[in-house]
Structure 1
Amino acid sequence: MNLDSAIAAHTEWKIKLRSAIERCEAVDAATIAADNCCELGRWLQGEGKRAHGASVMFSDLGTKHTAFHRAAGQVAREINARNYDAATQLLGAGTTYAAASSAVGVAISALKREIAKAA
């Protein structure tokens, strides 16, 4: 798993969600809200768990990753309900989404450092 790519992929969600708002396009809210539908989520539940499941950093990342997808799913549901102002507000600074996005990036970086130290 390329953890740098995982950081980039999760950062791109904000861009994708903003684009859907601007274009008034529906999104797949169920998939966005699921923590096992992205590459990182599949790794966390499979190969990553087998290799790093005993790590506190790994567990922390899993928790934060789930919270991120729940927050992104909430934005997606607002988009699909055509509540574009509410969806935009949910993406703003100081929101649950912003905190979850930042937290997952920090957690990925922390796990990456831990893995590098162990190598």
Structure 2
Amino acid sequence: MDLRSVYEKDKELKDKFIAAIESKWQLDDSIIAKSDRCELGAWLSGEAERKYKFLKSYKPCIEAHDAFHVQASKVARQINLGEYESAKAMIADGTPFYKSLAQLGVALIALKKDAKL
């Protein structure tokens, strides 16, 4: 698994949010909230769980990924409510969304190192 590329795909949610705000698109916030629906989440809850669940870095990675999807679903809900300025503010640097994405990156680096990926 190329953890960098799947992390980049989760990071692309920010770009999707910006596009949705600009185009006033609706998003499926219930799907965005499910951390096992993206490629990284499917891997973490499948192959990675089978191979790496006993590594010290595995559980923090799961928790960081779940937290990221919680924050992402909050942004999607604001967009769906038409609260575009609020949604923009929610994805800015220093916000819970931004911090959860950064924490996910740190957790993935630790898992990559421990699992020798």
Q: TM-score, normalised by structure 2?
A: 0.95
Residue 89 of structure 1, CA deviation: 0.7
How much does 1:8 deviate? Answer: 0.8
Shift of 1:110: 1.5
1:15 match: secondary structure = helix
Unaligned runs of 5+ in 2: none
Amino acid at match of 1:91: I
**Matches of 2:42 and 2:92, distance apart in 1:** 28
Letter in 2 for 1:39: E
- Equivalent residue number for residue 95 of structure 1: 95
Q: Provide Cα deviations, 1:23-68, integer angstroms capped at 9, x if missing partner.
A: 1111111111111100111111111100000112111000000000
Match of 1:22 in 2: 22
Aligned-residue offset at 1:108 = 1.0
Q: Which amino acid aligns with 2:4?
A: D
In 1, Cα distance between the equivalents of 2:85 and 2:8?
Answer: 26
Percent identity reads 35
- Stretches of structure 1 that go unaligned for 5 or more consecutive residues are none
In structure 1, how many angstroms separate the alpha carbons of the residues matched to 2:7 and 2:42? 15
Q: Secondary structure at the match of 1:78?
A: helix
Distance 1:20 1:55 in 2: 38
Does structure 1 conserve the Cα–Cα contact (< 8 Å) formed by 2:7 and 2:40? no
**CA positional deviation for 1:102:** 0.6
Superposed CA RMSD in Å reads 1.1
Structure 1 stretches of at least 4 aligned residues deviating more than 3 Å after TM superposition: none
